[in-house]
A = this chain, B = another copy of it.
Amino acid sequence: MNKSRLEAFSDGVFAIAITILVLNISIEDVSYADLSGALIGLLPKIFSYVMSFILIGLYWLGHHFYFERIRQVDGNFVLMNIALLMLISFMPFPTFLLGKYPMGQLPLTLYGCTLIATNAVSFLMLVYIYRNQHLANEHFKNEFYKLQLPLFFSINAMYAAGIACSFFWPHISYAIYLFVLLFALVSFVRRMNDSVKNK
C-alpha cells in the first residue's frame, strides 16, 4: 500500500464529508411570507454546520500531520484509517441532529460520542506509529507523541464532561463543545505558525 494514494483517498473523503454538510441546511416548502421565520429557524443548523465544518477541517489537518511523519503504512494502519474515515463520513448525521434539536440531550450525546470515537481512533493511529517506528520517518519525534498524549486525554475528558452536562444543562454542554473547538483551533493555528517561523 502506497502512502500517498491512501493520503489522496483520505483527502477525497474529508473533502466530500465537509462539503455535503451543507445538505443539512434546507427549508421546508414554505410560502415566501414564512421565509424569514424559516430562515431564523435555520440558525441552529447553520451553527452546527460551522462547528462541524471547522472540526472536520481540523481532523483533516491532524491527518496531514500524521501522514507527514510516516514513511509507509501497513494493514493495521490502513484499517484504522478506514475506521477514522468512517467516523468522519458519519459526521453529517450528528451535525444534522444537533442542528435540528440544538439543545436536545440525545443529539448532544451522539455528537460528543462521535467526536470521542474519532479522537480515540486518531490517537490509536498515533500510538501505533509510536510502537512501530519502522512506519515512521525522520519527522516523527517521540516528543511529538508525548505532547499529543495529554492533549488527547484532556480533549476527550472535556467531551465526556460535555456529554455528562447534556443530561442537566444542555447549554453548558454545547458551550463545552465550542470551547474545545476553539481551543483546538487556536493550538493548531499557533503550531502551524510556529513551524513556518522556525524554518
Given the known interface contacts A9-B14, A189-B76, the answer about A1 and B64 at a Cβ–Cβ threshold of 8 Å is: yes
Assess whether A43 is interfacial by the CB under 8 Å rule.
no
Assess whether A86 is interfacial by the CB under 8 Å rule.
yes
Assess whether A168 is interfacial by the CB under 8 Å rule.
no
Assess whether A171 is interfacial by the CB under 8 Å rule.
no
| Distance between Cα atoms of A79 and B185 in the complex (Å) | 8
Contact of A90 among B22, B68, B74, B85 (CB under 8 A): B22
Contact of A32 among B12, B49, B64, B104 (CB under 8 A): B104
| Distance between Cα atoms of A101 and B117 in the complex (Å) | 28
| Distance between Cα atoms of A36 and B25 in the complex (Å) | 22
A: interface residue count bin: 35 or more
Contact of A18 among B7, B13, B106 (CB under 8 A): B13
Closest CB in chain B relative to A5 CB, distance in Å: 6
Closest CB in chain B relative to A19 CB, distance in Å: 4
Assess whether A57 is interfacial by the CB under 8 Å rule.
yes
A15 & B16 in contact (Cβ 8 Å cutoff): yes
Surface stretch bound by B, among A147-155, A172-180, A191-199: A191-199
| Distance between Cα atoms of A109 and B25 in the complex (Å) | 17
Q: Which 3 residue pairs spanning A and B have beta carbons closest together?
A: A12-B15, A75-B192, A75-B189
Interface of A with B (CB < 8 Å)? Answer: 1-2, 5, 7-9, 11-23, 25-27, 32, 35-36, 39, 49-50, 53-54, 57, 60-61, 64, 68, 72-76, 78-79, 82, 85-86, 89-90, 92-93, 96-97, 101, 104, 106-107, 110, 134-135, 185, 188-193, 195-197, 199
Jot down 18 A-B pairs with beta carbons below 8 A, ordered by A.
A1-B61, A2-B64, A5-B11, A5-B64, A8-B8, A8-B11, A9-B14, A13-B19, A22-B90, A25-B93, A26-B96, A27-B97, A32-B104, A49-B90, A75-B188, A75-B190, A76-B189, A78-B189
